Amino acid sequence: MSLFQLKLDQVKTKLPFRVNANQAEFRVRDIVGEDPQERLDLQVFLPALGTSLQRELVWENWQKSQFILSILMGRYIPHISLIRSRDFVGLSISGAPVYQVIDGKQRLSTVMEFYSGKFEVEHEGQLYTFKDLDGAAQEAFLGYWFTATVAYEYADAKIADADKVRWFNQINFAGTPQDKAHQEMLRGCLERLEKFGH
C-alpha cells in the first residue's frame, strides 16, 4: 500500500458552473435545414485571448464517411458538449439562443458538409452524396438525434474564457489526438488567463 493517497480534488477539474448531462437533443434536420432551429457557434471565440477555442477541421474524408455510415447504421455516438447562451447587450437578451460547441465540432461539421454535398460516403466501393440516398436513408440521416451535455450562460452569470478552456481540456483528454501546437496554444492561454485573474 502506498504511503500517499490520491485525493479526488487533486485530479477532478473544478468548474464553477453546472453541467447538465443529456439536457438537450438536436435532430440533424434542425441543424442543416433551410431555417435551422438551433444556431451553432463552431469556433467559440475567446475575447480575453483574441482567439478561438476550437481547432480547425481535421477529419479526413474516410473518417467523415465512417461517421455518416455510423449514423445510418444507428450506432451509438457519444454526446456533444455545448454552452447555451444568447447575445447579451448588458443584462438584456438579444436574438435567438446560440449553442457554443465545446465538444462535437468535427461531428456537427461533418453532418453539415455531407448534407451540403461537400463529400461522398464510400460503401462497398461506391460513392454516395446525400442526394444519392434513398428516402429511408435520407430520413434516417435527417432524423438522427444528437444528445448534448449542456451548461447554461446568463447575462449576469457568464462563463469565463478560462473555464471554457478548462472544460474543453477536461473533455478532450482522449480520442483523436489534438494537434500538439493547438494543445500548447490552449495551455498558454490558460496560463495567461490565470495570471491575470480571469
Residue 181 lies in a domain: no
pLDDT of residue 183: 65
pLDDT of residue 149: 92
Comparison of pLDDT for 107 and 157, the residue scoring more: 107
Range of the domain at 23: 17-172
Count of domains forming the chain: 1
Residue 177 lies in a domain: no
Comparison of pLDDT for 112 and 187, the residue scoring more: 112
Residue 30 lies in a domain: yes
Residue 46 lies in a domain: yes
Residue 190 lies in a domain: no
**12 pLDDT higher than 90:** no
pLDDT of residue 198: 59
| pTM as predicted | 0.79
pLDDT of residue 100: 94
In tens, the pLDDT along 159-187 reads 999 999 989 988 876 545 556 676 677 77
Residue 194 lies in a domain: no
**157 pLDDT higher than 90:** no
**125 pLDDT higher than 90:** yes
pLDDT confidence band for 91 (50 / 70 / 90)? low
Average pLDDT over residues 142-168: 91
- CA 146 from centre of chain: 11
Residue 70 lies in a domain: yes
pLDDT of residue 136: 96
Average pLDDT over residues 26-43: 82
Long-range contacts of 92-99 (CB under 8 A, 24+ apart): 92/155, 93/155, 96/39, 97/38, 97/39, 98/39, 98/40, 98/41, 99/24, 99/38, 99/39, 99/40, 99/41, 99/148, 99/150
CB neighbour list of residue 15: distance below 8 Å, 6 or more residues apart: 151, 163, 166, 167, 170
Question: Residue 131 and residue 118: Cα distance in Å, rounded?
Answer: 11
Average pLDDT over residues 35-63: 88
